């Protein structure tokens, strides 16, 4: 049974997340603030972490920074769950090495999809974890900066709509860019393009 650490200071939200995960046969671990969350992550070594951003003691960014700096916890998939939905917040989380960023109120299906995608990605990558903090390495594949940024998000499991929301463009525009990306990479679709991206990105230490 996969263990998921929930770091959330709001009791009702924490309980709701626990109930959702239990219904899906996960084993939830709970922490009420950032300091408790860091301690729990290092003690329990969960399979994935769901973490709020605005919390007492230490905020979500400080939690992520502390866990990424420790070799023991650096590779645990980390998903931000927060009410802050501005593009700058998304980028700040990703720059610190977050694996995903879900904005409250999040639909149950979206939450479970994100968890499943991150757990599957971690299993596929084994000991390797791609560094998604910069799209620049993908430009070396012959992509424009915009195409590289789109591929960076697609390689993280985002849909066209999700990537478009993050980049402030329409899903149709993302689709059009993807057609150019596939052509430039000489691949037939999304999965093959993702593999090329993972090959081109450096590993995260």
Domain limits of the chain? 3-125, 136-200
Fold of 136-200: Arc Repressor Mutant, subunit A (1.10.10)
Residue 127: per-residue pLDDT? 52
- Give the pLDDT of residue 64: 93
Q: Decide if pLDDT at 155 tops 60.
A: yes
- Find all residues with CB under 8 Å of 201, minimum gap 6, and list them: 130, 131, 132, 137, 138, 155
Sign (positive or negative) of CA dihedral 148, 78, 1, 113: negative
Entry pTM: 0.68
Domain range 3-125, its CATH number among 3.40.50.1370, 3.10.180.10, 3.40.50.2300, 3.90.1150.10? 3.40.50.2300
């Amino acid at each position: 049974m996969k263990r998921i650490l929930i770091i959330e200071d709001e009791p009702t939200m924490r309980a709701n997340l626990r109930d959702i995960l239990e219904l899906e046969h996960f084993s939830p671990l709970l922490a009420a603030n950032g300091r408790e969350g860091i301690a729990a992550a290092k003690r329990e070594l969960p399979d994935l972490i769901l973490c709020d951003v605005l919390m007492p003691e230490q905020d979500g960014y400080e939690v992520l920074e502390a866990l990424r700096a420790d070799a023991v916890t650096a590779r645990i998939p980390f998903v931000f769950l927060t009410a802050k939905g501005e593009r700058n917040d998304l980028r700040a989380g990703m720059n610190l090495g977050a694996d995903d960023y879900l904005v409250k109120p999040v639909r149950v299906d979206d939450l479970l999809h994100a968890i499943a995608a991150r757990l599957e990605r971690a299993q596929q990558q084994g000991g390797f974890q791609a560094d998604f903090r910069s799209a620049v390495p993908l430009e070396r594949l012959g992509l424009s900066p915009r195409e590289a940024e789109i591929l960076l998000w697609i390689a993280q499991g985002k849909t066209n709509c999700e990537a478009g929301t993050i980049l402030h463009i329409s899903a149709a525009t993302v689709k059009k860019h993807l057609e150019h990306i596939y052509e430039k990479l000489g691949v037939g679709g999304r999965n093959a393009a993702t593999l090329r991206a993972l090959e081109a990105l450096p590993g995260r230490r």
